[in-house]
Structure 1
Amino acid sequence: MKERRKHELADTAQQIVGGFLLSGPFVVTQEVWMLAQNMTMFHSLFLVSAIMAIGYGGLYGADNDRNPRYEAAVAGVPVRFISVIIVAFGSVGVLAFSITAPDLFLTDVSRPERHFVTFRALSVGAVFSVVGAVTTDSLF
């Protein structure tokens, strides 16, 4: 039986670099925030599902050397996959809030609704962020 491969801090650092690299342009684009205002809960759930599929497929489908059964896991979910999803949403979230994007782009949205629109905008950015995170994790 193979020994489980540990997920190290360097792996997460690589994911963070890729996640920030590809998500930046989408956080500061007004069109993304306008799209988010028109999205429904269905669209949000669909995007989150797509992000997870891209993340899992990129980590384990595109890399023949990696097998989720032989990686460190939490409740059966590979730590590397959990890390990619956190990085995908986290990098977009950090960028959005550090440059105050919700305050800039959502001035005409009520305070309670602003949280939902922000999550939807983060989901749009996370699609690109997860691609960057998976790519850098696989390359390095």
Structure 2
Amino acid sequence: MKERRKHKLADTAQQIVGGFLLAGPFVVTEEVWLLARNMTVFHSLVLVGSVMAIGYGGLYGADNDRDPRLEAAIVGVPVRFISVMIVAYGSVGGLAFAITAPDLFLSDLAAAERLAVTFRAISVAAVFSVVGAVTTDSLF
């Protein structure tokens, strides 16, 4: 039986570079924030599922050398996959708040609605961030 492959800090660092690289242009694009205003919870859940599918497929479907059963896991979920999800959503959320995008694009909304729309915008931009994260993780 093969030994489980450990997830290293360098793996997460690579994911962060890719996640931030592709997240940036979408966090600062007004169209993403307009789309988020019109989305429902259902739309956000579909996007979350899409991000998870892209992340898992990119890590384990596109890379024949990786087997999720042989990777370090938490409750059966590979640590590498968990890391990619945290990076995808964390990079978008971190950028959005660091550059005050919600204040700029959603200044006309009440605080609770602004927060809800921000989470929806994060779900849109995470689709692109996860692509960057899994690509850099797979390339390096």
TM-score tier by shorter-chain length is over 0.9
Partner of 1:100: 100
Alignment of 1:78 with 2:111, yes or no, is no
TM-score (norm 2): 0.99
- Aligned counterparts of 1:67 and 1:116: Cα–Cα separation in 2: 37
- Aligned counterparts of 2:128 and 2:80: Cα–Cα separation in 1: 18
Unaligned stretches of 5+ residues in structure 2: none
Alignment of 1:8 with 2:41, yes or no, is no
- Aligned counterparts of 2:16 and 2:40: Cα–Cα separation in 1: 28
Q: How many residues align?
A: 140
Seq. identity, %: 81
Unaligned stretches of 5+ residues in structure 1: none
Structure 1 residue ranges (4+ consecutive) displaced by more than 3 angstroms after TM superposition: none
Cα deviation, 1:76-102, whole Å, max 9, x if unaligned, reads 000000000000000001110000000
Q: How does 1:33-112 map to 2 (within 5 A)?
A: 33-112=33-112
Partner of 1:113: 113
**CA-CA distance at 1:107 after TM superposition:** 1.1
SS in 1 for 2:46: helix
SS in 1 for 2:32: helix
